[in-house]
Amino acid sequence: MDDLLQVARRAMLHAHAPYSKFHVGAALRAEDGSIHGGCNVENAAYPQGTCAEAGAIAALVASGRKRILECLVIGPGPETITPCGGCRQKLREFAADDTPIHLCGPDGLHRTMTLGQLLPLSFGPHHVSPA
């Protein structure tokens, strides 16, 4: 997990958060062991920004990977942050219910949960795949 934390911390430092000042980093481990990071990128047209998890997922997909084995999210303060609802659904597209999601702060790991715990009874790719 230390390798994921290092990538997420580095990404968080590069976040573009001039409005909220809330810098977030994320790192994903793909099925081949490669790690893909992302940071939040805010926009003056508020709903047009992107979350750190979305950036990491885009990097994963751009590298030709399609499966997330592990995810780590880091926020700036003492409170444990979790992926927003939209990011939970985005993660579900590429991860299984038992995928570990590590929730971190500047001091390190706060808690690990599975995606299924964060998004119970989720709607996933298997719901729309042809039988």
Instruction: Specify if 100 maps to a domain.
Output: yes
CATH of the domain at 43: 3.40.140.10
Q: What are the residue ranges of helices labelled H in 29-112?
A: 52-62, 85-94
Instruction: Specify if 55 maps to a domain.
Output: yes
Q: Write down the pLDDT at residue 131.
A: 62
Instruction: Specify if 9 maps to a domain.
Output: yes
Instruction: Specify if 130 maps to a domain.
Output: no
Domain span including residue 50:
2-120
pLDDT in tens, 14-63: 999 999 999 999 999 999 999 999 999 999 998 899 999 999 999 999 99
Sign of CA dihedral 76, 80, 85, 89: positive
Domains held by the chain: number: 1
Residue 15 to residues 21, 39, 61, 127: CA-CA distances in angstroms? 9, 5, 20, 34
Instruction: Specify if 50 maps to a domain.
Output: yes
Q: Is residue 42 among the annotated active site residues? A: no
Instruction: Specify if 70 maps to a domain.
Output: yes
Choosing from 42, 53, 70, 93, the catalytic residue is 53
pLDDT in tens, 54-102: 999 999 999 999 999 999 999 998 999 999 999 999 999 999 999 999 9
